[in-house]
Amino acid sequence: MVERLVLVLGDQLSHDVAALRDADKSADVVVMAEVTDETGYVPHHPKKIALVLSAMRHFAQELEDDGWTVAYTRLDDPDASRSIVGELMRRAEEHGTTDILATAPGEWRLREALENAPLSVRTLPDDRFIASQREFDDWADGRKSLRMEYFYREMRRKTGLLMEDGEPAGGKWNYDHENRKPADRDLFRSEPMQFTPDDVTEDVLALVEDRFGDNFGTLRPFTFAVTRAQALRALDHFAKRQLPEFGDYQDAMLCDDRFLNHSLLSPYINLGLLSPLEVCERVAEEWKADRVPINSAEGYIRQIIGWREYVRGLYFHEGPDYPTRNVLDHDRDLPWMYWGGETRMNCVAHAVGQTRDEAYAHHIQRLMVTGNFALLAGIDPRQVHEWYLAVYVDAYEWVEAPNTVGMSQWADGGIIASKPYVSSGNYIDRMSDYCASCAYKVKDKTGEDACPFNLLYWHFLDRHRKRFEKNPRMAQMFATWDRMDAERRRDVLKGARRILDRLDAGEIV
């Protein structure tokens, strides 16, 4: 007699996820389902679909090996329904129970679908995060400003990571100012951990090729980890090889090196194959053993117990309308170059090209290249959001939307970012080698060949002057603009208009 159905979603692949902890192996049936609603709510990159489905299949096998009964639906099962709720209803009828045990989904859309399902669903909080939602809400309620840094310090105290006698190790909470070295081409040759697909993955790759071959993105070679054991090897690889210099070159970008010292662990942490705390504990161990400097260990741990936890709390704190916010009223369509169309901008071509090939770009490429350009050009943040949600292998709305809508597009009115992340070509030139081989000239501020970031940067400030001129962190920018002579300002705005007109006409920029 089946007591309950236990729902495990594609990004809940942790053996100790709340619903499994609460379930009874001998009486309950685990439900896992590959469904078209999930594979199709945005045109996901084929590598992302393959990773999720292969990891789901491997996880289901591990559960069965561990004695669980698993009702697993494959995407090509002719009896499958389209949605998670549809599959729960089908299994409910099959097993004669409408009692469902679930771990709260990481997205408003699915939470609402479960709440409205004609089933008796008990949802447990997803406690794979370091802060509970209640903790985040308590921290956020009543605060005028929700800056990540203060939340992060609380997480350091809570976890004890990099703490000595109640004080931050090394005497400082944050070593960010040491983490901005531009990359030196001669120093780098990143070697991310690669895994050869097994038969299970090969089956999935054939399915994805067949069904999603037209989605933006290259499926093969597919070298991601698809099990916890493999993800642990990827963590070990990162800790030994990239972590020591992670801090120094965190913000750098190079044409010939797509990964630099980044960990590429976000897909595994977000799927549940690795826990955020175990990753941070490993990093702290490396620091304790004197194998990595404090700026690398702190820089890395801050991304996880700071940013990752913070955006998660914020997504649910702000409510389901968060991804639709558009405070700056930007409404231009996302240019075709984001989907691989031609562009003369070398930085964008590289960021988008590697996104197509790898389903990966690191943080500064996402924020200061594709994100920066979209914000400067006034692209509709909803379209920007849907692009990021589709093209990155680690993209789930709870983490992607705050990063895109909030941090990158300032569409939430400054909840996350005290000032918009906009820059001229100068910043990209300092942090990368993109400009040296670009058709545009980064040193040109006006004229046909002037870097579009240079032109659009001033256009952005000029068109949003009213909103930002009182922001003390932006006073310097406006002062520089005001010091330019009137004719130069006119030329800059004319040049920006030319770029925007080209975008609107679908011409190459």
Chain residues in the site for ligand SF4 (CB under 6 A)? 345-347, 425, 428-429, 434-435, 438, 440, 442, 451-453
In the bound state with ligand FAD, the residue whose beta carbon lies nearer, of 108 and 392, is 392
For residue 39, how far is the Cα from the chain centroid?
A: 17
Question: Per CB under 6 A, which of residues 77..116 are in contact with ligand DLZ?
Answer: 84, 105-107, 110
* Tokens 């081989």 belong to residue: 437
**Residue 345 contact among ligand DLZ, ligand FAD, ligand SF4, none, beta carbon within 5 to 8 Å by kind:** ligand SF4
The residues, ordered by sequence, that sit 6+ positions from 93 with a Cβ below 8 Å of its Cβ are none
Q: Which does 44 bind (CB under 5 to 8 A by kind): ligand SF4, ligand DLZ, ligand FAD, none?
A: ligand DLZ
Q: What's the token pair of residue 397?
A: 């709305």
Q: How far is the CB of 295 from ligand DLZ (least distance, A)?
A: 32
In terms of CB distance, is 90 or 147 closer to ligand FAD? 147
When CB distances are held under 5 to 8 angstroms depending on the partner's kind, the choice from ligand SF4, ligand DLZ, ligand FAD, none that residue 107 binds is ligand DLZ
Between 379 and 407, CB nearer to ligand FAD: 407
Task: Please give the size of the binding site for ligand DLZ, defined by CB under 6 A.
Answer: 17
Question: Which secondary-structure segment (H or E) carries 71?
Answer: strand 69-73
Q: Tell me the β-bridge partners of 379.
A: 332
Token code pair at residue 173: 């909470």
Q: What separation, in Å, do the N-terminal and C-terminal C-alpha atoms of the chain show?
A: 64
Q: Which does 102 bind (CB under 5 to 8 A by kind): ligand FAD, ligand DLZ, ligand SF4, none?
A: none
Please choose, out of 27-35, 323-331, 340-348, 497-505, the segment that lies near ligand DLZ by the rule CB under 6 A: 27-35
Q: Which does 211 bind (CB under 5 to 8 A by kind): ligand DLZ, ligand SF4, ligand FAD, none?
A: none
Q: ω into residue 105 within 30 of 0, thus cis? A: no
Per CB under 6 A, does 356 bind ligand FAD?
A: no
Q: Which of 113, 139, 121 is nearest to 317 (CA)?
A: 139
Residue 502 burial (C-beta neighbours within 10 Å; 0-12, 13-18, 19+) = middle
Our CB check for ligand FAD shows the closer of 286 and 394 to be 394
270 binds ligand FAD (CB under 6 A): yes
Q: Helix/strand/coil (H, E, C) string of 84-144?
A: HHHHHHHHHHHHCCCEEEEECCCCHHHHHHHHCCCCEEEEECCCCCCCCHHHHHHHHCCCC
Shorter beta-carbon distance to ligand SF4: residue 316 or 453: 453
Burial of 262 (0-12, 13-18, 19+ CB in 10 A): buried
SS3 496: helix
Please report, as ranges, the residues that interact with ligand FAD according to CB under 6 A: 262-266, 269-270, 300, 303-304, 307-308, 311, 362-363, 366-367, 371, 388, 392, 394-395, 399-400, 403-404, 407-408
Please report, as ranges, the residues that interact with ligand DLZ according to CB under 6 A: 9-11, 33-35, 38-39, 44, 49, 52, 84, 105-107, 110, 396
